[in-house]
Amino acid sequence: MSTLISNIGELVTNEPGIGEGPLGLLHDAALVVEDGRVAWVGPGSGAPAADEVFDAGGRAVLPGFVDSHAHLVFAGERAEEFAARMSGQPYKAGGIRTTVARTRAASDDELRANVRRLVDEMVRQGTTTVECKSGYGLTVEHEQRALQIAGEFADEVTFLGAHVVPSEYGDDTQGYVRLVSGEMMAACAPHARWVDVFCERGAFDADQTREVLEAGIKAGLTPRLHANQLGHGPGVQLAVELGAAAADHCTFLTDEDVAALAGSETVATLLPGVEFSTRQPYPDARRLIDAGATVALATDCNPGSCYSSSMAFCIAVGVRDMHLTPAEAVWSATAGGAKALRRTDVGHLGVGARGDVVVLDAPSYIHLAYRPGVPQVAAVFKAGHRV
C-alpha cells in the first residue's frame, strides 16, 4: 500500500539537500509513503499516484518527534512532591524510592496499562519514536519485568538498574553496584539495547558508574548516561570517554564539558521539562550548539521530576528559556533525538526513512513555539499508517 500526503504548505524534511536550510524546508510539497517507508518527496505538482491520498490542506508537515529519554514503567504519582517543590523545597533524587515501592507492588497488568496510556498520549501529540527505561524496580526480578513490559510498547529499551540505591541496601552502594553489574545485568541485558546510570550526588559516583557501564558494554549494550543534572560532576566526561550515545540533562557544564561534547559523537540530550518542574537553571543550549555539539530535546516523562509527555512543550520551553531558535528546537526534537538513539530511519523524511509523519493544524513548524500549550497535531502517521 502507498499513501500520498498532498497539499503540504510547509514540509520539514530535515534533509538540507532536498530543501531550504538545515530543516530542508519545502513549500507546496507532497510525499509518498509506500510499505512503511518514504518513497518520494518533492513539489506537489510532481507527485506520483498512490493507493490512498491524504490532503494536508495547506498545513505544515514534519517528521514524527523522537523522544529519546523517558521513564514510563511505574505505578502511582508524586503530585505532592511537585507541590512541595513549588513551595520552596529543593528537588532531591531520593523521591525515586517512593515510586520504586509502588512499582514493585503493582501487577504486570497495572504497569502495562500505564505504559500503554502514556505511549498513546505521546503518539497523539506527535511522538512516533519512544525510548523507555527501567529503573523503578531495582531488583533482578522487577528490573527484568520492567524491561519486558517496556519492550511491548517502546521503540528503544534501556536498562537503568543503577537509578538509585534501593532502601534495602542502606549505605551499601558498592554492594548494589555489584548486583547491577553482575546478576541483574545478566538477566536484563537480553531485553534492552542500552545501559544507563544516574551519575549524580545521591546516586552513583564516577567509579561506580564506570563499573556498571563497562559491565553493560561487555554484555552487548551501548551506554547512555544521566549526567550533570544536579551540579557539576564527572558524568559528561565519562560519557564521552566511554563512547556513550548521549549524555542526558547537561544542566551544569564546564567549558571542558562543552568542548568534550563538541569533539565527540555523544549527543547532549536536554530535558527542559525537568527544569520547568524543578525550578533548576535551564541548560544553555545556545552555548552547546555554538561550540559544535549535537543537541537533542526529550521529555524525561516520569512521575517525579517531569510528568509531561509533550515534545511540543519541550520545543516551546527550549526556544523560550534555552536560547534555541524554533528551527533548532524542531531539529533537536526530531533528527537530534534520532542521533541520540543512533537511528537513521527516523527523525527525517528523506527517501528511505520510516514513514513517521505529523500534520500540524498550523501553517508552519514555528507555531509549535509560537502557540505553546495549544493542541496543534491534526494527524499522525507511523510507518505510513494513520494512528
pLDDT (tens digit per residue) in 330-375? 999 999 999 999 999 999 999 999 999 999 999 999 999 999 999 9
Residue 318 φ/ψ region, left for φ over 0, alpha for ψ in the -120 to 50 degree band, beta for the rest: alpha
Looking at residue 254, its pLDDT comes to: 98
Angle between helices 108-124 and 140-153 (to 10 degrees): 40
Average pLDDT over residues 92-96: 72
- The strand pairing partners of 127, in sequence order, are 65
When pLDDT is cut at 50, 70 and 90, the band that residue 94 belongs to is low
Mean pLDDT of the chain: 97
Please determine, for residue 206, whether its predicted confidence score (pLDDT) is greater than 80.
yes
- CA nearest to 303, candidates 68, 127, 72: 72
Please give the grid coordinates belonging to residue 69: 529519554
- Over the stretch 150-200, which tens digit does the pLDDT of each residue have? 999 999 999 999 999 999 999 999 999 999 999 999 999 999 999 999 999
Please determine, for residue 314, whether its predicted confidence score (pLDDT) is greater than 80.
yes
Q: How far apart are CA 157 and CA 333, in angstroms?
A: 18
Please determine, for residue 96, whether its predicted confidence score (pLDDT) is greater than 80.
yes
Please give the grid coordinates belonging to residue 144: 527484568
Angle between helices 140-153 and 96-105 (to 10 degrees): 80
Please determine, for residue 93, whether its predicted confidence score (pLDDT) is greater than 80.
no
Average pLDDT over residues 255-275: 98
Please determine, for residue 95, whether its predicted confidence score (pLDDT) is greater than 70.
yes
- CA nearest to 209, candidates 241, 186, 256: 241
Percent of the chain with pLDDT over 70: 99
- Over the stretch 207-263, which tens digit does the pLDDT of each residue have? 999 999 999 999 999 999 999 999 999 999 999 999 999 999 999 999 999 999 999
Beta strands in the chain (DSSP E): 2-11, 26-34, 37-43, 52-55, 60-63, 65-67, 127-133, 156-162, 194-199, 222-223, 225-227, 246-249, 267-270, 295-297, 357-360, 377-382, 385-386
Looking at residue 92, its pLDDT comes to: 65
